[in-house]
Amino acid sequence: MSALLHPQLLCSGLEKLTNVALSLNLHGKKSLDKLEQKTLSIHLQEIGFPLSFTVIAQKVLVNTFAEHADCTINTSIKTLLLLKKEQQLTELIKQDKLDILGDIKVAQQFAHIAETLDIDWQSELAKHIGDIPTYKLTRASHYFTKKLKFASEQIQADASEWLVHEKRLVVTNSQISIFNQQVNDVSKQVELLINKVEPLLDKHAELSSKILKDHCE
Amino acid sequence: MSTQDQNHQNNSTHFGYQTVDKSEKESKVAGVFHSVAAQYDVMNDLMSFGIHRLWKRFTIDASGVRPGNKVLDLAGGTGDLTAKFSQLVGHEGKVILADINSSMLNVGRDKLRDKGLVQNIEYVQANAQYLPFEDNTFDIVTIAFGLRNVTDKDMALRSIYRVLKPGGRLLVLEFSKPEHDLINKAYDFYSFNILPKIGELVAKDGDSYQYLAESIRMHPDQETLKDMMDNAGFEQSTYKNLTGGVVALHKGYKF
């Protein structure tokens, strides 16, 4: 059976991406000094292998062995994205969304680096294609983002109109709350009825046993 | 078989599809690598479409290297594995880049120095069959795309076994036999028709890349190499096929 190389491909891509991002960081690489020779290992629920990030000589190496990590995190991709905000660490641990083994400071320092990463994309792009094309490209991207946002909102609104009013496949929020209210009312009435019926049933049982006793005598 | 024939067989080996005298192979292989050294990295990327980088990453991941380890990167050529190992073993560890070919060693040394990797790397020109190191010296020995060029592979494996520490491991990354016929046919077509032409165009040396293709076919398949490792004394020898068996990573321990 041939081994798949996707973990190595992912590690290679992440390593390249991380180091490029760090080299473009406006705050420099000083924050990496504290993490020299430290390893953070992340086990994501969605992928079947660990990702270990080791800082060596102001570079981040990414590989798949986690045996000698200073800090190991077990979590999911969704939670990992929240981890960017350092202050959320404790909250996520409390919610059992995050399991941390080892030195928590290592995880916090990595999270701090991610949080403070500041890249001037426009300047970087201008270095390669020039100022005027960058300006035009940025303006065009803002224009298209705005248009795209508007279009997506429009599509969403149109789709809900069509589903609710034309095809009647979905009900509105107010209809759901009216329905919920009606269900609650019925539940209450049923409860009242049960309260009335139960004593009657008890009485019926009592009478039946009395009649049976008399009949036997 | 006459004694003369037997002697001839014992003293002969393969150089690609040619049968040559054992004493001749070293100089012929040296000729190939002196010729391709300067373009070696570019050719590796072109020939493998960059996948050789993933094969090497897989090897490093499988090595279980840790800070402080002493690593021998045998037939290390232009130092791809050495570069990674040097970072992973840290200041307390050491990596020795060894190659029989001085041109490859020079290219490797220049490349690693340009990358600023100088602190924990040593360079040794050495023949894998006669390793110039004391017994029980290394935690890890790797030989990537080098074993098939060695004249006497059994002798090289015994030599590697000798220099490994007890608990140490050997990792052999080498071209091997594809698992499926279809891959095998496509691979054959690529190796014998396209590869030499790329070599001719880029490295101006089609013959060396013809040798590369032939030497891959003459190299022992996965099971045979595993048996050779067992015979040399390695324990728990295993292998993993990569990219459908085009390449295999063999791993064995010395206990």
Write the pLDDT tens digit of every residue in B100-112: 888 888 888 998 9
A49 and A148 share a domain?
A: no
A104 and A131 share a domain?
A: no
CB contact under 8 A, A11 and B57: yes
Contacting residues of B for A64, CB less than 8 Å apart: 61
A88 and A131 share a domain?
A: no
A62 and A134 share a domain?
A: no
CB contact under 8 A, A5 and B116: no
User: Is pLDDT above 70 for B1?
Assistant: no
User: Across the A/B interface, how many CB contacts are shorter than 8 Å?
Assistant: 54
CB contact under 8 A, A56 and B90: yes
Instruction: Give, in degrees to the nearest 5, the angle at Cα A106 between A102 and A107.
Output: 90
A50 and A149 share a domain?
A: no
A136 and A93 share a domain?
A: no
A87 and A104 share a domain?
A: yes
A21 and A78 share a domain?
A: yes
CB contact under 8 A, B57 and A54: no
Domain spans, chain B: 34-178+221-253, 181-211
Total domains, chain A: 2
Q: Give pLDDT tens digits for B77-131.
A: 888 899 999 988 988 899 999 998 888 888 889 989 988 888 899 999 999 999 9
A14 and A61 share a domain?
A: yes
Q: Give pLDDT tens digits for A73-96.
A: 888 888 877 766 656 777 788 888
A126 and A112 share a domain?
A: no
Are B81 and B59 in contact, with CB atoms under 8 Å apart?
yes
pLDDT tens for chain A, 217 residues long, are 566 778 889 999 999 998 888 888 877 777 788 888 888 999 888 888 889 998 888 889 998 887 788 899 888 888 877 766 656 777 788 888 888 888 888 888 888 888 888 888 888 888 888 888 888 998 999 999 999 999 999 998 888 888 888 887 888 888 889 999 999 999 999 999 999 999 999 999 999 999 988 888 7
A63 and A155 share a domain?
A: no
A109 and A129 share a domain?
A: no
Residue in chain A closest to B63 (alpha carbons) equals A65
B152-189: b or e for each residue (b if 16 or more CB lie within 10 Å)?
Answer: ebeebbbbbbbbbbeebbbbbbbbbbbbeeebeeebee
Please give the pLDDT value at position A77.
Answer: 84
Q: Indicate whether A214 belongs to any domain.
A: no
| Residue B198 tokens, joined | 């790329």
Q: Which fold has domain B34-178+221-253?
A: Rossmann fold (3.40.50)
Are B128 and B144 in contact, with CB atoms under 8 Å apart?
no
What is the rounded CA–CA span in Å between residue B76 and residue B99?
6
ipTM summary value: 0.75
Picking from A3, A7, A8, the nearest residue to B240 by CB comes out as: A3
Contacting residues of B for A2, CB less than 8 Å apart: 179, 240-245
What is the rounded CA–CA span in Å between residue B38 and residue B203?
8
Q: Which domain covers residue A153, as residue numbers? A: 121-166
**What CATH number does residue A74 fall under?**
3.30.1050.10
Picking from B54, B66, B84, the nearest residue to A5 by CB comes out as: B54
Are B47 and B9 in contact, with CB atoms under 8 Å apart?
no
Cβ-count burial of B253 within 10 angstroms (0-12 exposed, 13-18 middle, 19+ buried)? Answer: middle
Q: How many CA atoms lie within 13 A of A128 on its CB side?
A: 5
pTM higher than 0.90, yes or no? no
Compute the nearest-CA separation of A65 from chain B (Å): 6
